[in-house]
Amino acid sequence: MPYLNSLASQYGLATQYFANTHPSIGNYFMLTTGQIVTNDDAFTGPVSVDNIVRDLLAAGKTWKSYAESIPSVGYTGGDSYPYAKRHNILSYFTDVTTSSTQVKNLVPFSQFSSDLANNQLPDFSLSSRTCCMTPTIPPSVSLWMSLTPGCSRTLRR
């Protein structure tokens, strides 16, 4: 893990992060809405409370959710093995599901490398894993987010 350690040294590492609730769906909502919308992994939504997508759009920022094994671009349906909707938390928000434009930001994780190579990463990205973890990545690493520096400054205001 030398590369990951170098990133932590260069940027930062959260070592005192604790979950607010169990199972993880409540934590994902806490990260993206500021509240625990549900703790039910079978929850189907929709969610219309204030959320990160709404804030990003209001600030004129771009976003994407890169989801491993999502059945198709813009998919907002339920679990489709090995895809787990509960890990693609932005797919619950009405700001996404009711917009033919925003729903296209729910994309397969495979698109990440193309966006990176073409310098087309959004201001905010959320990446999610399937329900089937590989042995090399612990189950606790099923969701991660990144912000461009400008986006981070905008959202802090």
Q: Which amino acid is at 34?
A: G
Domain count, the chain: 1
* Contact present, 154 and 61 (Cβ < 8 Å): yes
**DSSP assigned state of 42:** T
Task: Please indicate, yes or no, if residue 33 is contained in any of the structural domains.
Answer: no
Instruction: Quote the pLDDT of residue 2.
Output: 80
Q: Which domain range does residue 98 map to? A: 42-156
Task: Please indicate, yes or no, if residue 15 is contained in any of the structural domains.
Answer: no
Task: Please indicate, yes or no, if residue 84 is contained in any of the structural domains.
Answer: yes
Instruction: Quote the pLDDT of residue 151.
Output: 57
Residue 103 gets the label, from left (phi > 0), alpha (psi -120 to 50) or beta, of: alpha
Task: Please indicate, yes or no, if residue 5 is contained in any of the structural domains.
Answer: no
Cis (ω within 30 of 0) for the bond into 71? no
Strand extents, DSSP E, the chain: 63-67, 106-108, 124-128, 143-147
- 9 or 54, which is more confident? 54
Question: Measured between alpha carbons, how far is 96 from 76 in angstroms, rounded to an integer?
Answer: 9
Task: Please indicate, yes or no, if residue 36 is contained in any of the structural domains.
Answer: no
Reported as a single tens digit per residue, the pLDDT across 27-73 is: 999 999 999 999 999 999 999 999 999 999 999 999 999 999 999 99
Task: Please indicate, yes or no, if residue 23 is contained in any of the structural domains.
Answer: no
pTM of the model as a whole: 0.81
Please report which confidence band the pLDDT of residue 154 belongs to, taking 50, 70 and 90 as the band edges: low
* Contact present, 111 and 68 (Cβ < 8 Å): no
Please give the span between the terminal C-alpha atoms of the chain, in angstroms, as a whole number: 35
* Contact present, 61 and 79 (Cβ < 8 Å): no
